[in-house]
Chains A and B, each alone.
Chain A
Amino acid sequence: MTGHVHGTDVDVSRDLLGAIGGVPTPPTDMVVDATNVEKWFGKLHVLRDVSLTVKRQEVVVVLGPSGSGKTTFIRCVNHLEKIQSGRIFVNGHLIGYRDVNGKLVEDKEANIARQRQEIGMVFQRFNLFPHKTALENIIEAPIQVRGTPKDEAIEMGRALLTRVGLAAKEGSYPSQLSGGQQQRVAIARALAMKPALMLFDEPTSALDPEMIGEVLEVMKELAREGMTMIVVTHEMGFAKEVADRVVMMDDGVVVEEGTPEHFFSNPTHERTKSFLSKIL
């Protein structure tokens, strides 16, 4: 719990995943398997032949300049964005599409919704539901989607809030919480669905500097407990300390991939070197 850049006095529990009954175990060892993904926004080619795999309990950090396609890529992993070709599998399921004779045909909404239950997502702008309290935000999906009985959901929601250090805030509305607190509630909300994979889309970029640490602390704890994670971030300290693998994207292409040691001490690609020299 020491050695991180941002000091924090938030008390994050050691047993974060205990609140949802332990580390969710996906049926396969390969949680994410993306191959040759291509995506255009109109004429703009935003993902070019992107392939990436994430094994169970692995933490992959995606770096790259803005506009490099890293956010678009993780949004494709839970089908918030469509892809034009390639395949993305999560837990062995083709995400968002059916493969009809080698062509991608978009799946029914109900099936896509079911696939998304396994994939938690944390957004840059938190996107908490403003008309619901912190606790209500967390229990909404378990009750509405999973059909969890209300008292059971509340019990789990309270446990999660306690684990992210916000037990006292269960009745607060998002507008009454700081950015860091909102993001911790958002993480708890995603965890309440017991996902096998967590996607983080620049989770600290919209935060005041003094609140970044408390959110990173929760994410580090999740990583330590074995959650499978893809994290898009500019927090190099987090990447160095927590990542099993670092992926560098630029202009829609995966430029370089490797362990943090390789990545930060002797990157091979010129583009990676110049990017790191600018931000380190």
Chain B
Amino acid sequence: MKFDPAEFLNFTFTWRDVLIGAIITTLLMAVVAQIIGVLLGLIAALAGRSRNPLVKAISVIYVWFFRGTPVLVQIYLLYFGLPYLLGIDPFPKQYGSLPELIGGGFVAVTLALGVNEGAYMSEIIRAGILSVDSGQAEAAKSLGMTPRKTMQRIVLPQALRVIVPPLGNEFNNMIKTTSLASVVGVTELVLLAQNRYGATFQPFEPLLGICVFYLAMTTIWGVIQGRIERRLGAGTRSEDVPGFWSRMTGAGRGRQGDTGGVR
């Protein structure tokens, strides 16, 4: 047994300034990439329902490519492949006077993760839209609402109940997937741990240390997600929304994807 509690505590709690920077980097990448993913996913899901065959084909190919290739390869394609193709480097170490945190690696990884996420979100949003009873759109249309208004006001708000639980899972995943940014030199949590044990030759303690931070982030997110879901549950029975412990552990989530009061 080689575990060195002093090194663990030292890394986790005295390296505070560096760690806080890495956590901010991690969260910023995750949030921006997830937002990009939701927006692209919404566009792709709506495009996939288009009557225009070209628009539909673009959506299908997008989802097919980005779900069918490893996200690590997509990061490499963007970060190494794009400068090679263009002959200029869109991902320099630093952008003018912007803080060093938001350098080329950060931008490339955030973009790649966002575009990749869009493919998954597209499927989630598509399923959400399909979960809404067709009678809802018919009722809206019969009241004179245009297809756009029908989607905005009636279908998407109801689809949200089905979209949000898996969206929460996606964001949970995203927080952890940002660790891939370490391969292109972004100073997030994993790179920080690697730097540390590169110097100390004690890998276990810093790796366990960053687990503490990942757990903290995903746990706090779990609580926030529960609040959002309960809020969306207006008009449905509240027992359909899982509580904190079942959310954290996945227990008793057989009803996930249930449409609640939607018939």
Q: Which residues of A contact B (CB under 8 A)?
A: 78, 80, 109-110, 113-114, 116-117, 119-121, 123, 125, 127-133, 140-141, 144-146, 173-176, 186, 189-190, 193
Q: Is B146 an interface residue (CB 8 A)?
A: yes
Please, could you name 29 A-B residue pairs with CB atoms under 8 Å apart, sorted by A? A109-B146, A110-B146, A113-B146, A114-B144, A116-B141, A116-B142, A117-B143, A121-B139, A123-B138, A123-B142, A127-B138, A127-B139, A128-B139, A129-B154, A129-B158, A130-B158, A130-B262, A130-B263, A131-B235, A133-B235, A141-B143, A141-B144, A144-B145, A144-B153, A145-B144, A173-B234, A174-B261, A175-B237, A186-B139
Interface string of B136-176 (1 = CB under 8 A from A): 10111111111101000110011000000000000000000
CA distance A78 to B139 in the complex (A): 11
CA distance A109 to B158 in the complex (A): 22
Q: Is B236 an interface residue (CB 8 A)?
A: yes
Given known contacts A145-B149, A173-B235, A175-B236, is B261 in contact with A80 (CB within 8 Å)?
A: no
Q: Is B135 an interface residue (CB 8 A)?
A: yes
Find out whether the CB atom of A113 lies under 8 angstroms from the CB atom of B158: no
Q: Interface size on B (CB < 8 Å)?
A: 26
- List the count of A-B residue pairs having beta carbons below 8 Å apart: 83
Hey, which chain A residues are within 8 Å of B144, CB to CB?
A: 113-114, 116-117, 141, 145-146, 193
Q: Which residues of B contact A (CB under 8 A)?
A: 133, 135-136, 138-147, 149, 153-154, 157-158, 234-237, 260-263
Hey, which chain A residues are within 8 Å of B260, CB to CB?
A: 130
Hey, which chain B residues are within 8 Å of A114, CB to CB?
A: 144
Find out whether the CB atom of A131 lies under 8 angstroms from the CB atom of B141: no
Find out whether the CB atom of A145 lies under 8 angstroms from the CB atom of B145: yes
Q: Which of B143, B154, B234, B237 contacts A193 (CB 8 A)?
A: B143
Q: Which of B135, B149, B157, B261 contacts A123 (CB 8 A)?
A: B135
CA distance A131 to B235 in the complex (A): 6
Hey, which chain B residues are within 8 Å of A119, CB to CB?
A: 142
A179 nearest CB across to chain B (Å): 11
Find out whether the CB atom of B135 lies under 8 angstroms from the CB atom of A125: yes
Hey, which chain A residues are within 8 Å of B261, CB to CB?
A: 130, 173-175
Find out whether the CB atom of A109 lies under 8 angstroms from the CB atom of B147: yes
CA distance A146 to B143 in the complex (A): 10
Given known contacts A123-B135, A129-B136, A173-B235, is B143 in contact with A190 (CB within 8 Å)?
A: yes
Q: Which of B133, B145, B158, B262 contacts A141 (CB 8 A)?
A: B145
Given known contacts A110-B146, A144-B145, A145-B144, is B235 in contact with A130 (CB within 8 Å)?
A: yes
Find out whether the CB atom of B141 lies under 8 angstroms from the CB atom of A113: yes
CA distance A174 to B237 in the complex (A): 12
CA distance A195 to B3 in the complex (A): 77
Ranked nearest first, the 4 interchain pairs of A and B with the lowest CB-CB distance are A117-B144, A173-B235, A141-B143, A127-B139
CA distance A117 to B158 in the complex (A): 23
CA distance A80 to B234 in the complex (A): 29
CA distance A116 to B144 in the complex (A): 5
A267 nearest CB across to chain B (Å): 32
Find out whether the CB atom of B263 lies under 8 angstroms from the CB atom of A131: no
B52 nearest CB across to chain A (Å): 14
Across the two chains, which residue of chain B brings its CB closest to A79? Answer: B141
B97 nearest CB across to chain A (Å): 46
CA distance A131 to B260 in the complex (A): 11
Find out whether the CB atom of B139 lies under 8 angstroms from the CB atom of A129: yes
CA distance A146 to B146 in the complex (A): 12
Find out whether the CB atom of A113 lies under 8 angstroms from the CB atom of B145: yes
Find out whether the CB atom of B149 lies under 8 angstroms from the CB atom of A78: no
CA distance A29 to B258 in the complex (A): 49
Find out whether the CB atom of B143 lies under 8 angstroms from the CB atom of A131: no
Hey, which chain A residues are within 8 Å of B135, CB to CB?
A: 123, 125, 127
Across the two chains, which residue of chain B brings its CB closest to A172? Answer: B235
**10 other contacts beyond A127-B136, A127-B139, with CB at 8 A cut-off?**
A80-B141, A113-B144, A119-B142, A123-B135, A129-B158, A131-B157, A131-B234, A145-B143, A175-B237, A175-B261
Find out whether the CB atom of A80 lies under 8 angstroms from the CB atom of B138: yes
Find out whether the CB atom of B153 lies under 8 angstroms from the CB atom of A140: yes
Interface centre among B146, B157, B236, B237 (most CB of A within 10 A): B146
Across the two chains, which residue of chain A brings its CB closest to B262? Answer: A130
Q: Which of B139, B142, B149, B157 contacts A144 (CB 8 A)?
A: B149
Hey, which chain B residues are within 8 Å of A193, CB to CB?
A: 143-144
Hey, which chain A residues are within 8 Å of B143, CB to CB?
A: 116-117, 140-141, 145, 189-190, 193
